[in-house]
Amino acid sequence: MAMELKKVVPFGRSLDEYVKMFNLTQEDLQKSILSVGDGPASFNAEGTKLGYKIKSVDPLYELTSEQIRSRFDEVVDNIIEQVKNSPNDWIWTYHGSPDGLRKNRERVIDIFCEDYERGKGENRYELGALPKLKYGDSAYNIGLCSHFLFLYSEQFDANFHFDSICEILRVCQEVRIFPLLTLSLMPSPHLQPVLAKLEAKGYSCEIHKVSYQLQRGGNEMIKIIKTES
């Protein structure tokens, strides 16, 4: 069953989820990280407390924390109801149940909202949107994109995906994207065409299994790096 969403929703994930979704090692977490389309994730807030260097970018950051919270409140009931109505589509090893998922998402946005204004003042949350970023070439070691590219394949075409990934690769030395399924729990139709174009440009594209899974079959992320010439 497809998750029916007309636009990107403000559902954030935690530091622990990011570590599992992107196979982040302690060595990775010591590097500079640009998290694109980060929304109301608590990854930045939690990571900053541990001394990690994380920049989050999202068009959502034009809003106040109260407005972001309001947008979350507007969609959470519908999303959890859709999840409850499609029990065979989800794996509950992490969240336990739809109610556990809701509780975890509420905890994440609580942490995000508590940190948001301070983080904006420290330039850790910056307004920005793909397919263009304002940062310099190779400004960051690792670029992450959680639950945007490939997930919203119906809303954004293959050219948008290719241009967006190329832009993150311009700014970051490597890029990791999760998940590779669409909202319909199908492999993104953009994945293979985009990978072929990236490989033709000299990038190495590796699909890795990860320990995190919520969408059934959604336990893979892609790691993209520039190969040595």
pLDDT at position 4: 47
Question: For the residues of 18-38, what is the DSSP string, one character each?
Answer: HHHHTT--HHHHTSEEEEET-
Cis peptide before 179 (omega within 30 of 0): yes
Q: What is the pTM assigned to this prediction? A: 0.93
pLDDT at position 226: 82
- Classify 15-226 by CATH class: alpha beta
- Residues 76, 86: contact at Cβ < 8 Å? no
Cis peptide before 10 (omega within 30 of 0): no
Domain ranges in the chain are 15-226
- Record the tokens describing residue 48, joined without a space: 């900053």
Burial label, 140 (beta-carbon count in 10 A; 0-12, 13-18, 19+): buried
pLDDT at position 7: 52
Amino acid at 92: W
- Residues 170, 62: contact at Cβ < 8 Å? no
Q: Which residue has the tokens 């929304």?
A: 39
pLDDT at position 228: 62
Q: pLDDT (tens digit, 0 to 9) for every residue of the chain, 229 residues total?
A: 444 445 566 789 999 999 999 999 999 999 999 999 999 999 999 999 999 999 999 999 999 999 999 999 988 998 899 899 988 899 999 999 999 999 999 999 999 999 999 999 999 999 999 999 999 999 999 999 999 999 999 899 999 999 999 999 999 999 999 999 998 889 999 999 999 999 999 999 999 999 999 999 999 999 999 876 5
pLDDT at position 6: 52
- Residues 79, 9: contact at Cβ < 8 Å? yes
- Residues 211, 25: contact at Cβ < 8 Å? no
pLDDT at position 156: 92
pLDDT at position 227: 76
pLDDT at position 5: 43
